[in-house]
Amino acid sequence: MIVSDAARRRSIRVNVGGVLIGGDAPIVVQSMTNTDTADVDATVRQIKALTDAGSELVRITVNNVAAAQAVAPIRERLDRSGCHVPLVGDFHFNGHRLLREHAACAAALAKYRINPGNVGRGARRDVQFCEIVELACRHGKPVRIGVNWGSLDQELLAQMLDDNARSATPAPVAQIQRDAVVASALRSAAMAQEIGLPDDHIILSCKMSRVQDLIVVYGELASRCEYALHLGLTEAGMGSKGIVASTAALAVLLQQGIGDTIRISLTPEPQGDRTQEVLVAQEILQTMGFRSFTPMVTACPGCGRTSSTFFQSLAQDIQTHLREKMPYWRSQYPGVENMTVAVMGCVVNGPGESKHADIGISLPGTGERPVAPVYVDGDKTVTLKGADIAAQFERIVDDYVAARFGDPACYDKRSSRVPGAGTTRLDQQIPVRGQS
Mean pLDDT of 58-62: 98
Amino acid of residue 314: L
Nearest to 425 by CA among 400, 408, 402, 401: 400
CA torsion, points 196, 111, 55, 91, in degrees to nearest 10? -120
Burial grade of 166 (CB within 10 A; 0-12, 13-18, 19 or more): exposed
d(CA 213, CA 166): 24
pLDDT of 159-180, one tens digit each? 999 999 999 999 999 999 999 9
364: Cβ contacts below 8 Å, ≥ 6 apart: 346, 347, 370, 371, 372
- The predicted-structure confidence for 194-222, as pLDDT tens digits, reads as follows 999 999 999 999 999 999 999 999 999 99
Q: Does 244 have pLDDT greater than 50?
A: yes
How far is residue 157 CA from its own chain's centroid? 32
Is 283 or 268 the better-scoring residue by pLDDT? 283
For residue 8, pLDDT beyond 50: yes
Helix 310-332 to helix 389-406 angle, to the nearest 10 degrees? 30
Q: What is the mean pLDDT of the chain?
A: 90
Residue pLDDT, tens place only, 318-363: 889 998 999 899 889 999 999 999 999 888 888 998 999 999 999 8
Rounded to whole angstroms, how far apart are CA atoms 103 and 105?
A: 5
Of residues 90, 87, 83, 72, the one with CA closest to residue 16: 87
Task: Report DSSP state, residue 412.
Answer: B
Distance (Å, whole) CA 75 – CA 115: 24
Residue 313 has pLDDT above 90, yes or no: no
Beta bridge partners of 89: 60, 112
